[in-house]
Structure 1
Amino acid sequence: MKIAAVIAIGAFFVLYFVLYMLVAFLVPEMPMIARIVVGGFGAFIAGYMIKTIIERIMEIRKGEDDDLSNY
């Protein structure tokens, strides 16, 4: 159940940033450099979110239910 929640929330955020990136490329009034910066930011955040999802799934499989106990 915990893995499903991680995947669902993570997928929501990845989808959000991918759509954010696509909107940046589809706005015709936006200069090309702004499209590249905004699109790059969206791609970076989406990629980092995927990395975070994978790390959290590995933590759950190892038995770490509460990752806040590490801090």
Structure 2
Amino acid sequence: MLKKLIAPIIVTVFTIAFLLFYFGLIFVLIPLSVVLRLLIGLIPLCLAGVSVFVLVERIKEVRSGEEDDLSNY
């Protein structure tokens, strides 16, 4: 079971690291007001949250034994 979770966890960690790096760059490099930077910065933060949600769903899927989603269609 752990072998099936290694790749999604690694991909999620790298994705979140990239999105947080991007969020940091927005605050350093964009010469806008703080409010606009926060609004623009919310996009990568929301994407990081969605990545964590998808990872949690994948972990639940693997634990329940449901492997092939395409077999449902």
Same fold? TM cut 0.5: yes
Aligned residues: 70
Length-normalised TM-score, structure 1: 0.83
The residue that corresponds to 1:66 in the other structure is 68
Aligned CA RMSD, in angstroms, stands at: 1.6
What stretches of structure 1 of length at least 5 have no aligned partner? none
TM-score (norm 2): 0.81
1:24/1:8 CA distance change after superposition, 3 Å: same
Q: Secondary structure at the match of 1:69?
A: helix
| Cα drift, residue 13 of structure 1 | 0.9
1:16 Cα deviation from its structure 2 partner: 1.1
Q: Answer with 1 or 2: which has the greater Rg.
A: 2
C-alpha separation in 2, matches of 1:13 and 1:35? 21
